[in-house]
Chain A
Amino acid sequence: MLTQAEANVENGPDTGNGVIISTRDVNVYYGDNHALQGVSLDINKHQVTSLIGPSGCGKSTYLRCLNRMNDTVDSCRVTGEILLDGVDIYGPSVDEVLLRARVGMVFQKPNPFPKSIYDNVAYGPRIHGLADNKDDLDEMVLTSLEKAGLIKEVQDRLHSSGTGLSGGQQQRLCIARALAVRPDIILMDEPCSALDPIATAKVEELIDELKENYTIIIVTHSMQQAARISQRTAFFHLGEIVETGDTEKLFTSPSDKRTQGYITGRFG
């Protein structure tokens, strides 16, 4: 009899929460460079999935496929199937601007706009026309700042510049900005690598709370972070997925020697 964890490793994710993103045989080319090779991975709804692997392994490339950020790179070509709730996001009827509202992104370096805290968060709802009036917009901004765990720290200075905040606060402001357009999925590309341990802990706590309502996919170089915050982990190496499984299983007894080598710090 297989344990549940083993069954997951063999048969794909636990579908208890349902699969929100399903990717099949995804290949990405940057010109002649075959950066991602036949990646198939299912992402469970309302869970945190972490993508780990050495630099250049394709994990960020994979992440950027999920909201078509790779479209902005001229030489980039994506093949394979990426289904969001069963709809091919590379299909002809998909509006990538709306897609990116639904699949938000937070980057490694906090990148608030050089605008006020309020305007940073209001930016998305404004361009997408989500608010009917000023009160509606105020509500959206405050709710997003609250969900991002930032409201207490900034409520007295909503109209000061977002760039004046500390690094950790800026990163949570970027998360609030992503939340304001009511996404289902939030992609995070090493969101804590520029933050100190306290700010990191706050973002990790936030991620843990956000998973109640959002699906989060995070690229991280910190194995401990992946272990702390994610329910599932995928290990990428040389443009392929080597192993996907429950985080607990992957960090206690990985199935593949390469995963073991990487997470234990033996990779030569």
Chain B
Amino acid sequence: MNSGHIVKSFDEELEEVRNTIVEMGGLAETQLEAAVRSLTERNTELALKTIEGDKAVDELELAIDNMSIRLLALRNPVADDLRLVISALKIASLLERVADYAANISKRVIALNTAPTIAPISSIPRMGEMVRRMIDDTLKAYTNGDSDLAYDVWKRDQDVDQLYNSMFRELLTFMMEDPRSITSCTHLIFMAKNIERIGDHMTNIAEIIIYQVTGEMPKEPRPKGDKTSVTMIDNETP
């Protein structure tokens, strides 16, 4: 932002929206980190806590909605102010979904913890960390109005998709080798899918940040790398 508005309370209200988005994003990041950790630690208590933590994110979304509606009605924002408010509404709704995915991972952790052993899961924490960093950088890009960093996050989603593709194949192979692992592997696939979706949402948010800062969407088509929808594994393959 350059110089402030003549009406200072307008600045304060916009600042509050920005701060709440950052707070919400921070919470969503923590939720994802906790969900993945509850998986690696097989920690049911942490998983329960994470599910419970989703409410706080929902409340922040509501707060941002209310603030934005009030700003639109009372301040008639235009230009970059208008872009900030519209972006906040969209980002809040995406972050709410991100936290939902984290809560869903935690629910599956509780289910998995009733099983004696599960398939090796090293890829999930790796994906989780990749996506957590995407959230972190997205929030940095948002705070600093850094469209270059947002663009960097936008491009990074492809790496997450690739990791997801290989994990999908790996888990399918496990299931073929040992049908008793189907339940746990299916949960793991859904978890990985959840993380992959969070990555997609970060791509969305990065686009919104680029629009908010520059007034334009990225011109090139979004990089897409999730090929699992068309993946088949031959039964004969060991």
Contacts and interface: CB of A to CB of B under 8 A. Distances in A.
A263 B81 CA distance: 10
Contacts, number: 46
A260 interface: yes
Contacts of B79: 251-254, 259-260, 263-264
Contacts of A257: 2
A261 B80 CA distance: 9
Interface stretch (B4-12, B90-98, B188-196): B4-12
B3 A264 contact: no
B82 interface: yes
Contacts of A72: none
Contacts of A266: 2-6
B231 interface: no
Query: Which of the listed residues A1, A227, A265 has the most CB atoms from chain B within 10 Å of its own CB?
Result: A265
Contacts of A261: 2-3
Contacts of B237: none
A141 to B, nearest CB: 39
* Interface size classification for chain B: 10 to 19
Given A253-B215, A265-B10, A223 B2 contact: no
A4 interface: no
Nearest to A223: B78
A263 B76 CA distance: 11
A233 to B, nearest CB: 11
B2 A251 contact: no
Contacts of A268: 3, 6
A200 to B, nearest CB: 15
B2 A224 contact: no
A173 to B, nearest CB: 31
Nearest to A257: B2
B76 A264 contact: no
Nearest to B14: A264
A263 B78 CA distance: 7
Nearest to B7: A265
Contacts of B10: 265
B216 A265 contact: no
A253 B2 contact: no
A265 B10 CA distance: 10
B107 interface: no
A266 B219 CA distance: 30
Contacts of B187: none
Interface in A230-268: 251-254, 257, 259-261, 263-268
Q: Which of A252, A261, A264 has the most CB of B within 10 A?
A: A264
Interface in B72-90: 76-83
Contact of B81 (A224, A264, A267): A264
A170 to B, nearest CB: 28
A267 B6 contact: yes
Nearest to B11: A266
18 contacts: A223-B78, A227-B78, A251-B82, A252-B83, A252-B215, A253-B215, A253-B216, A257-B2, A259-B79, A260-B2, A260-B79, A260-B80, A264-B78, A265-B5, A265-B6, A265-B10, A266-B6, A267-B6
Interface of A: 1, 223-224, 227, 251-254, 257, 259-261, 263-268
Interface of B: 2-7, 10, 76-83, 214-216, 219
> Top 3 A-B pairs ranked by shortest CB distance?
A253-B215, A251-B78, A264-B81
Given A1-B219, A251-B79, 17 more contacts: A224-B76, A227-B78, A251-B82, A252-B79, A252-B83, A253-B83, A254-B79, A260-B2, A260-B79, A264-B5, A264-B80, A265-B6, A266-B2, A266-B3, A266-B5, A266-B6, A268-B6
